[in-house]
Structure 1
Amino acid sequence: MAPQIDLDPSHPVKVAVVQGEPCWFDVDGAVQKTCALITEAGQNGAKLIAFPELWIPGYPTFVFAHTTKTVNDYMLKYYHNAIAVDSEHMATIRKAARAADIMVALGIAERDWGSLYMSQTFISPQGDILLHRRKFKPTGPERIIFGDASGDCSKNVVQTAIGRVGGLQCFEHLQPLLKYNTYFQGEQIHVASWPCLFPPVGEMPFFNTVEACRMATHTLAIEGGVFVLLASMVQTDKGLEANGLLPSSKDVEGEIPHTAVVGGGLTVVIGPDGRTMTEPVPVDWEGLVYAELDFDQIYRAKQWIDPVGHYSRPDIFRLQVDSQVQRHVVAADQVDADGYTHISRFPELEEE
């Protein structure tokens, strides 16, 4: 056996990636389904499970289809089923991770006082929150519902027992500087959290189609020389009805919204050289996709391409990053020790 490199795991790492339909507007059902998937992945020997973007309480497909008045009504219902990081709902998920002895990368609509954010929470096998980040910039109509992140969104990679794990959400994979900053943090396993990914519908732009989104995700794997776990969401008639996207819905007129489609799943694991490592699954299939990650594949890829190492020119190009949280109010005598996150302290889990 070759000598271990740095803090790499000494054996291949088994991972599980979710493809499934969320429990639309049902936070209690969503937590239950999330815990069941965590348990299943742990029982099957996975050391990490990756969830789609906004898994709880589902991606707000309604925002693309309705008038402002109707959207406002849906938003209130959505807010009630979002999840706070220090809530009992999150504590239940953390306990499930601890019981299954598995790391969890979870996509949530995060409720923080009166605002919502698109967030990823990385939970350790001991149930600790290792990393919590908000989406850098919500895309297009998402800005109607969600707020921007602060500087802590740039700290999106964490050292774990299974390597350096990080992630981005949806169109963050089209942000060149954000991706470059991710590579610089030495990421090895990347959680690409996506919602439903659909084929072209009407006049929707190509970059919003499943083909383009997959291209962007494969590009990150190639550029970063990392394993990518693309977790995606499925929408059935249940989702169409919940989001008011059925043809009979009052506000859905003219061209069908691109979110008013059944299917949307494209969960896959991608290797550090960009190749697809797992068999394709149907777009309406629900379950867990598994893969074994051999870290030597990373170093084979980086022998050729390492954009923050031997294949870079910092004498010509450099990236400046401000990772501090820009707080709304700062008292004159306040000392911010780390500026790491908008949350001053994650709650401890109770001992069982």
Structure 2
Amino acid sequence: MTCPPVDLDPSSPVKVAVVQAEPCWFDIEAAVQKTCDLITEAGKNNAKLIAFPELCIPGYPTFVFAHTIKTVNDYMLEFYRNSVSVESSHMTKIRKAARAAEIMVVLGISERHRGSLFMAQTFIGPDGTTLLHRRKFKPTGPERIIFGDASGDCSKNVIQTPLGRVGGLQCFEHIQPLLKYNTYFQGEQIHVASWPCLFPPVGNMPFFNTVEACRMATHTLAVEGGVFVLLASSIQTEKGLGANGLIKPVVEGEEIPHTAATGGGFTVVIAPDGRALTEAVPADWEGLVYCELDFEEIYRAKQWVDPVGHYSRPDIFTH
């Protein structure tokens, strides 16, 4: 029996690739080349979409949690120099790699715009065109020292593609109820959750900033939205510790910064009912996680729960 197509959805499972990798800290040329290499690898393995972590170019600024403002300012200058402008030759090279591999790319970058930096996700089509570019609506905590707020267009974060309706959020945007609801309302089906490297609890750090809590928040989004989630994350090795000035003598009684750790990866693909579709990879593992997404799973999940459809009561909250 041949099943009729559903709207504009793909008629067969979609193969995706999700990145877990260490950034090329403060090295824009190496970062762009590594990005292109991962895109090429995913294309050769017949993936139709590749999802990258937050700020994979030039790497999440783990230094910002560990130094005084004076020292942070010195790191910020190097970070600024190795960030990327949207219309730069670096982004042109990445778009050409996407076109050559015939793959859709969702890339996390530190976007440099004149004198400012923004945390951004760029959606690139398999023909190399920019389909959508959005900035993180508000940097979290100490990130605000480095990055600016987005403008109102950050709420447009889902687009129709031949692979379905693809969207994304970055890091702690996944704990913003209204932002998540807005994402669901746009009919998202494949969600790219771009995260940095995250670690187990250290000292007095709040639990919500641990890898366990952030993983839970991302699984919750999958259940609430009835969507596939591609959780992409970075790792940090001794190279990253050195680049970010996180290798220091241990001082008795002084708390170690929570980013002064190795590992940090927790990449996974999550089903619309919240379960993991891929096996857990080690926190220090580097590579691509592949998975095939069958949209039947979305339809089954939404038969039970559709918070912007049959499982909603907007009349109660409208005055």
TM-score higher than 0.5 here?
A: yes
Structure 2, unmatched stretches of 5+, are none
In 1, distance between residues paired with 2:261 and 2:97? 32
- Per the TM alignment, residue 318 of structure 1 is displaced from its structure 2 partner at its CA by 5.6
Structure 2 match to 1:349: none
Question: Aligned partner of 1:236: which letter?
Answer: T
Deviation at 1:248, TM superposition (A): 3.9
Q: Using a 3 Å threshold, how does the CA distance of structure 1 residues 268 and 189 change in structure 2: closer, same or farther? A: same
State yes or no: 1:37 paired with 2:33: no
Q: Letter of the aligned partner of 1:103 in structure 2?
A: M
- Residue 261 (structure 2) aligns with: 261
**In structure 1, distance between residues paired with 2:181 and 2:22:** 31
Match status 1:299 vs 2:271: no
Q: Which amino acid letter does the alignment assign opposite residue 307 of structure 1?
A: P
Determine the structure 1 residue equivalent to 2:287.
287
TM-score (norm 1): 0.89
Call closer, same or farther: CA 1:249–1:100 in 2, change over 3 Å. farther
Cα distance, 1:197 vs structure 2: 1.4
Aligned to 1:67: 68
For residue 315 of structure 2, what is the aligned residue in structure 1?
315
Q: Look up the SS of the partner of 1:164 in the other structure.
A: strand
Q: Distance in 2 between matches of 1:311 and 1:100?
A: 40
Taking structure 1 as reference, are residues 249 and 203 closer, same or farther at Cα in structure 2, changes over 3 Å only?
closer
Q: What corresponds to 1:48 in structure 2?
A: 49
- 1:262 aligned partner, one-letter code: T
Distance change >3 Å, CA 253–CA 237, structure 1 → 2: farther
Report the CA distance between 1:80 and its aligned residue.
Answer: 0.1
CA distance in 1, matches of 2:317, 2:297: 28
SS, match of residue 63 in structure 1: helix
**Whole-Å Cα distance in 2 between the matches of residues 103 and 27 of structure 1?**
22
Report Cα offsets for 1:310-349 as digits up to 9, x if no partner. Answer: 0111112269xxxxxxxxxxxxxxxxxxxxxxxxxxxxxx
- Residue 254 of structure 1 and its aligned partner are, at CA, apart by 1.7
Q: Which residue of 2 is the match for residue 347 of structure 1?
A: none
Counterparts of 1:265 and 1:174, CA distance in 2: 19
Aligned CA RMSD, in angstroms, stands at 1.4
Q: 1:78 aligns to what?
A: 79
Give the SS at the match of 1:86.
Answer: coil
1:89 and 2:113 correspond: no
Equivalent residue, structure 1, for 2:147: 146
Distance 1:247 1:4 in 2: 59
Indicate yes or no: 2:128 matched with 1:127. yes
> Aligned partners of 1:265, 1:168: CA distance in 2, in Å?
17
Q: Kindly tell me: are residues 309 and 18 of structure 1, through their superposed partners in 2, closer, same or farther at Cα, counting changes over 3 Å?
A: same
| Other-structure match for 1:277 | 277
Aligned length in residues: 318
Alignment of 1:147-166 (within 5 A): 147-166=148-167
Normalising by structure 2, we get a TM-score of 0.98
Tell me by how many angstroms 1:20 deviates.
0.4
Q: Which residue of 2 aligns with 1:190?
A: 191
What amino acid is aligned across from residue 17 of structure 1 in structure 2?
Answer: V
1:259-306, CA deviations, whole angstroms, 9 ceiling, x for partnerless residues? 000000000000000010001111000000000000010010000100
Give the equivalent residue in structure 2 for 1:227: 228
Aligned counterparts of 2:235 and 2:56: Cα–Cα separation in 1? 10
Structure 1 runs (4+) deviating above 6 angstroms are none
Flag the 1:249–1:93 CA change in 2: closer, same or farther, 3 A. Answer: farther
For 2:250 and 2:55, the matched residues in 1 are separated by: 24
Structure 1 equivalent of residue 219 of structure 2? 218
Report the secondary structure of 1:49's partner residue: strand
Q: Distance in 1 between matches of 2:249 and 2:7?
A: 58
